[in-house]
Each structure stands twice: as structure tokens, then as C-alpha cells.
């Protein structure tokens, strides 16, 4: 049996003009995860990411922290578009006919603004997952979920007895977990909104199937008692 470590990217720049880059906290979360894997003696046969900058920055930081360990550098590095996140602005626009507020400073400072942001996003996600909206430039929910699952299956089939690190986003990770549990789309949305930055979701796998072992764990952060690094956005 092999193991697939499905990791959400580190904290990205929520509420700025460029979300798709890690914050200083995001790089620290990723470094701690790489060191955690190194302490456990985990060696990856392959690293697979989506095509987003935050995915690649997270993977780079994890691998860099692994590098001091003997023979820890993965032999294969690949990208899979099926691991990319949905477009939250398109989702909200499809539901409300208006864009998400982009007052980054207010979103960072004001818990009320943050709660409203994610309440609106949750409503938009549910509408999409239930087939009530068709956001521009996005696939429907079944196609989105199938793309995420296909990326995991491809890694499972190629590295059936190995360790694979997959770095993605909350939406694809939740979609994969929901599919593994035969859970409805509504469950995937609830899972999505609870996945923490650099949280690890683990699957045992062989060439024919994969099974969920753990979900949304942040032992690399808890070990150091760094509660401020347990972030969701």
C-alpha cells in the first residue's frame, strides 16, 4: 500500500489585490510541515500540485524543509489542473449578480466582515453544488469533483506503493473526501469551509482504490503550540 498526503496550501493573501501568494505565515506553516515530514522519515516519490502560485509556493517550502534529510527530495514533480480551486467571485456573481467585496483591510480587521464574506460564499457554493447556478468560466460541480478525484487517482495508479504529496486547495480536497465517503455535495461544501491551511488529509492507496485515513490534521502546528498559525483563509 502507498500513502497519499493531500495538503491544503499555506495561508494565502486573503483580502489583498493578489490572493494567489503565500503570506509570511503561509510560508512558516509550509516549512513546519516539511520539517514534520522529515522528523517522521517521510520520503516522497512524487509531488503533485495544481497550477496556482500558492500551491507551488507551499510545495516548494515543504520540499526545501525536507531537503536536509538524506534522499528526501522527490524524484517527480508534476502539475494537475484538476487540483485548482473554484472561482469565488464567479460563484457569488452567479448567485447575487454582484461581486465579493474587496476591502481587504476591512476583511482582515473586522470579524463581522469576515463572517459575512464566508456566509455569502457558503450560499454561493451550495447553489453551485446543487445545480442552481452556472458560474461563468467554471465547470459544474460534478465535473469539478471528477477533476479533483482524477488527479488523485492518477497519482495512486502511478505510485501505487509509494508516498505522494499533493498540494491543492480546500475545494478540491473537500470534493475528493466527499467522493471517498459517497457523501452528497452539501457535505463537501461544509468540509471545504473547515479545512485549515497546510492541513493534511491522508489516504492509503494502491493502484485500484484509495481509503480515507485522516482529515484536516495540523500536527506540525500543534506540536509547536503555535495556535496563531491555525488559520482558515
The predicted-structure confidence for 99-128, as pLDDT tens digits, reads as follows 665 555 445 556 777 788 889 999 999 999
Task: Please give the domain boundaries of the chain with CATH numbers for all domains.
Answer: 2-84+140-229 (3.40.50.1240), 87-137 (no CATH)
Q: Tell me what the mean pLDDT of segment 10-38 comes to.
A: 91
Q: What is the pLDDT of residue 180?
A: 98
Output the average pLDDT for the chain: 91
The predicted-structure confidence for 39-97, as pLDDT tens digits, reads as follows 999 989 999 999 999 999 999 999 999 877 655 566 689 999 999 999 999 999 999 98
The predicted-structure confidence for 54-70, as pLDDT tens digits, reads as follows 999 999 999 999 877 65
Q: What is the pLDDT of residue 107?
A: 53
Q: What is the pLDDT of residue 13?
A: 84
Would the CA dihedral through 109, 112, 115, 121 be positive or negative?
A: negative
Phi-psi region of 117 (alpha: psi -120 to 50; beta: other; left: phi over 0): alpha
Cell of 199: 492541513
Give Dmax over CA atoms of the chain in angstroms. Answer: 54
Q: Tell me what the mean pLDDT of segment 19-40 comes to.
A: 95
Q: Report how far residue 64's alpha carbon sits from residue 73's, in angstroms, rounded to the nearest whole number.
A: 8
Q: pTM of whole model > 0.75?
A: yes
Amino acid at each position: 500500500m502507498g500513502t497519499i498526503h493531500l495538503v491544503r496550501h499555506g495561508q494565502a493573501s486573503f483580502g489583498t489585490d493578489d490572493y494567489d501568494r503565500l503570506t509570511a505565515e503561509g510560508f512558516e506553516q509550509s516549512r513546519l510541515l516539511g520539517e514534520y515530514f522529515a522528523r517522521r522519515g517521510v520520503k516522497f516519490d512524487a509531488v503533485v500540485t495544481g497550477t496556482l502560485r500558492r500551491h507551488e509556493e507551499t510545495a516548494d517550502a515543504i520540499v526545501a524543509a525536507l531537503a536536509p534529510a538524506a534522499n528526501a527530495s522527490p524524484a517527480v514533480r508534476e502539475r494537475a489542473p484538476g487540483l485548482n480551486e473554484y472561482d469565488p467571485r464567479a460563484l457569488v456573481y452567479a448567485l447575487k449578480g454582484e461581486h465579493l467585496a474587496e476591502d481587504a483591510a476591512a476583511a482582515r480587521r473586522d470579524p463581522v466582515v469576515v463572517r459575512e464574506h464566508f456566509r455569502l460564499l457558503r450560499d454561493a457554493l451550495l447553489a453551485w453544488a446543487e445545480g442552481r447556478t452556472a458560474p461563468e468560466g467554471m465547470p459544474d460541480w460534478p465535473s469539478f469533483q471528477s477533476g479533483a478525484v482524477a488527479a488523485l487517482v492518477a497519482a495512486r495508479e502511478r505510485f501505487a506503493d509509494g508516498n505522494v504529496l499533493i498540494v491543492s486547495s480546500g475545494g478540491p480536497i473537500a470534493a475528493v473526501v466527499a467522493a471517498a465517503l459517497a457523501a452528497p455535495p452539501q457535505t463537501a461544501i461544509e468540509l471545504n469551509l473547515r479545512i485549515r491551511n497546510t492541513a493534511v488529509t491522508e489516504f492509503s492507496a494502491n493502484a485500484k482504490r484509495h481509503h480515507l485515513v485522516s482529515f484536516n490534521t495540523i500536527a506540525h502546528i500543534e506540536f509547536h503550540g503555535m495556535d496563531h498559525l491555525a488559520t482558515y483563509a
